[in-house]
Structure 1
């Protein structure tokens, strides 16, 4: 099933790269899940107690296969005819050289997400870890705006950078950052307002202790949103190795902060370590975007000093990029 899901994700990425964003989401997020739910529901009704996890996995694999076929059909319909005869932009060896750093980026993200929980297990009992997991999962919803915007904006980052259109790239980056920050801010306001009653309703009053770590993690997500799509922006413009280095150092820093703060502050210490690391790596990547691309990635979107274009036709005076 994993192979089918990976191929489906690649097909969706190709559709999004061709600027068919909704179609790129449809096979994996709609067809696969809808069919898997329908297949499992019917099988559970027919088999009753005989329905097992193996049946569910097999039916999910079938749904993934159907979604993959649907995605390939969609891709074939929108794929430009010129691609069949166009020379490759990059050789296979160059693609491999980029693939390895991108895989490492994904790995470091996963390590960062799990570091606090792993280190926390060295100092507290399972009940406390369960409470902290609730905090992490709840705070994770705050990043939905960034993930959603990245799905739409990332192909545009790559396209406009390859065209050398700095002005439009800056506008897309600024717009995406503002949308992301607005969505995250609304989510944080909602979480602060009704977070505790929602926790009590969804998990029980014994999980009230998750509320403080949630608020601390929310601060980190505000920094994450406020910095803009720095990781995707650098990855889509050929600076994935720089991202790997920064995130690798962030993982090491996260481990150190967790070891130092958890014995002193418990769950809040783990949350603080994660939030601090998230803020610092975004700050470093924000600076890298300015230095490497000359782009202001935050919602401010202020043109950078020293960025100029050729003299205009009328007066021959240089004008700032905007």
Structure 2
């Protein structure tokens, strides 16, 4: 991963870490203030809204991000792209909001979803417009490579939502208060984002029409395929919620949404990579650098596997402790669905960067087919399992659908023209995960104090996992420092020096031998210390 792309990933990851922390603090508060049933209603409404916004927003946001990143020689290319997609965003937002208002006013929403939810759809109509310009502004900045601006806007969006939604739900406004938080935050982000876009490209370009040579047909074709792709992706995210709302109580939907929230925490780094790769690899594709693309994709697949796997193992080991502490004892039914969702969440995490590289190429036929295959599996299994098994059935169906994404998109990638498994070391990564899971789970089981387990298991488990990854060869000794070298100084420069020294010292093959000895000694010392302090039971 070159430094420019890596720095973009670091910018996105940094913002996602902040968003993750804010989400981690606010979600259990929302769950408690709303209650399981109202939280289920809220989750259902957001799922319906997300599916609806596919047809309003996805062609605009993916298109402006991709075509701005392309290095084209046409005069005023950036201005024409920004103006074209702004006009399209306005048209679709107005049309989308009107359709929602008309459907609500004439009873269609009541007929389909029930009269108790009707009022909420008027708020969702307002959210259609504000969310459209929020996303347009952010994705336009990303198309310019300005993640240092677009990602803080995502933080602002989350903070704005929390600042309004949490107080309103606390005083009893309920679901309407949570939706009001989304409207306020999206309006705020849209306003700030459009000002930042205007500084880069004057928004007066909206009134300037490009020449006949402007590739409108190419853009509309990409938009259409992008809408199909996002629709299939969103079905993977939301069909289980929609079907659970049909066959089970709102409390079941709320607890299942709680399980999904924890499982989706695994995606924050893969989603950051996916966000940056769409426009970053678009430039590589335009330069025909196929070898570079395969090397980048396969190495990213390996890093994603290792990072997501250690998080999944830790979350599985601490599920019985984390869920009641995080959401409250009312959410204990979410533990089993969470455990069932984790394998699929890992597979989906691996598919995300691969899909982004394919999107960067621009020909979306194979990614759409691959995603469609996973979506079909997900739909069939949800239809078969949810009526009989409820939350557990939804978790199994969704996990299988998520996991199949990795298989299908590896096939798609090779048809597109790159190999995401070239240096992925999947076998070594799987072996690392299996071997590391044993002591991590044993450690979490041995520690009976839940707060002590939450404090000890994550850092110790991470150290154990990295040790196994280095010993087995899933990770080279210099690679962690190569990744850190993309961070701002002094971290970046220091890590770069260390990576160079390790690479130089390892040229004679001695580094790995010494590293194995040191890691064995460290692991043995950790075990002895745990036994001596009474943290570990000798019987374990």
- Please give the range of the TM-score, normalised by the shorter of the 2 chains: 0.7 to 0.9
Deviation at 1:58, TM superposition (A): 7.1
Please say if residues 371 and 409 of structure 2, whose CA atoms lie closer than 8 Å, have aligned partners that are also in contact: no
2:219 to 95, 117, 130: 95
Deviation at 1:300, TM superposition (A): 0.9
User: In the alignment, does 2:174 pair up with 1:69?
Assistant: no
Q: Unpaired runs of 5+ in structure 1?
A: 78-83, 303-322
User: In the alignment, does 2:154 pair up with 1:29?
Assistant: yes
Structure number with bigger Rg: 2
1:236 to 360, 382, 385: 360
| RMSD of aligned alpha carbons | 3.6
In structure 2, what is the equivalent of residue 171 of structure 1? Answer: 295
Distance 1:187 1:58 in 2: 32
Give the match's secondary structure for 1:236. helix
Tell me: CA distance 1:89–1:272, structure 2 relative to 1, closer, same or farther (3 Å).
farther
Equivalent residue pairs, number: 288
Deviation at 1:73, TM superposition (A): 4.4
Q: Unpaired runs of 5+ in structure 2?
A: 1-126, 203-207, 427-540
* C-alpha distance after superposition, 1:80-135 (max 9, x if no partner): xxxx9x99996112101110111222222222222223333454444333322211
Give the match's secondary structure for 1:229. helix
In structure 2, what is the equivalent of residue 118 of structure 1? Answer: 242
Distance 2:311 2:349 in 1: 11
Tell me: CA distance 1:297–1:233, structure 2 relative to 1, closer, same or farther (3 Å).
farther
* C-alpha distance after superposition, 1:35-55 (max 9, x if no partner): 6767x59x99xxx999x9598
Tell me: CA distance 1:225–1:250, structure 2 relative to 1, closer, same or farther (3 Å).
closer
In structure 2, what is the equivalent of residue 19 of structure 1? Answer: 145
Please say if residues 250 and 281 of structure 1, whose CA atoms lie closer than 8 Å, have aligned partners that are also in contact: yes
Distance 1:2 1:259 in 2: 29
Distance 1:37 1:133 in 2: 18
2:282 to 158, 182, 190: 158
Distance 1:235 1:69 in 2: 25
Give the match's secondary structure for 2:145. coil
Tell me: CA distance 1:31–1:280, structure 2 relative to 1, closer, same or farther (3 Å).
closer
Please say if residues 261 and 270 of structure 1, whose CA atoms lie closer than 8 Å, have aligned partners that are also in contact: yes
Please say if residues 149 and 180 of structure 1, whose CA atoms lie closer than 8 Å, have aligned partners that are also in contact: no
Q: How does 1:1-322 map to 2 (within 5 A)?
A: 2-26=128-152, 28-34=153-159, 59-60=184-185, 62-73=187-198, 75-76=200-201, 91-227=215-351, 229-263=353-387, 265-297=389-421, 300=424
Distance 1:49 1:221 in 2: 34
* C-alpha distance after superposition, 1:50-84 (max 9, x if no partner): 9x95986775465234312342145349xxxxxx9
Please say if residues 234 and 289 of structure 1, whose CA atoms lie closer than 8 Å, have aligned partners that are also in contact: yes
Name which of structure 1's ranges 58-67 and 198-207 shifts more when overlaid on structure 2. Answer: 58-67
Distance 1:180 1:88 in 2: 43
Normalised by the size of structure 1, how large is the TM-score? 0.75
Give the match's secondary structure for 1:201. helix
Please say if residues 284 and 293 of structure 2, whose CA atoms lie closer than 8 Å, have aligned partners that are also in contact: yes
Tell me: CA distance 1:206–1:223, structure 2 relative to 1, closer, same or farther (3 Å).
same
Please say if residues 294 and 422 of structure 2, whose CA atoms lie closer than 8 Å, have aligned partners that are also in contact: no
Distance 2:397 2:319 in 1: 21
Please say if residues 134 and 187 of structure 2, whose CA atoms lie closer than 8 Å, have aligned partners that are also in contact: no
Distance 1:161 1:188 in 2: 33
Please say if residues 138 and 193 of structure 2, whose CA atoms lie closer than 8 Å, have aligned partners that are also in contact: no
Distance 1:240 1:301 in 2: 27
Distance 2:131 2:249 in 1: 36
Distance 1:228 1:275 in 2: 15
Deviation at 1:154, TM superposition (A): 2.3
Deviation at 1:184, TM superposition (A): 1.3
Deviation at 1:8, TM superposition (A): 3.9
Higher helix share: 2
Tell me: CA distance 1:149–1:192, structure 2 relative to 1, closer, same or farther (3 Å).
same
Distance 2:212 2:410 in 1: 31
Give the match's secondary structure for 2:238. helix
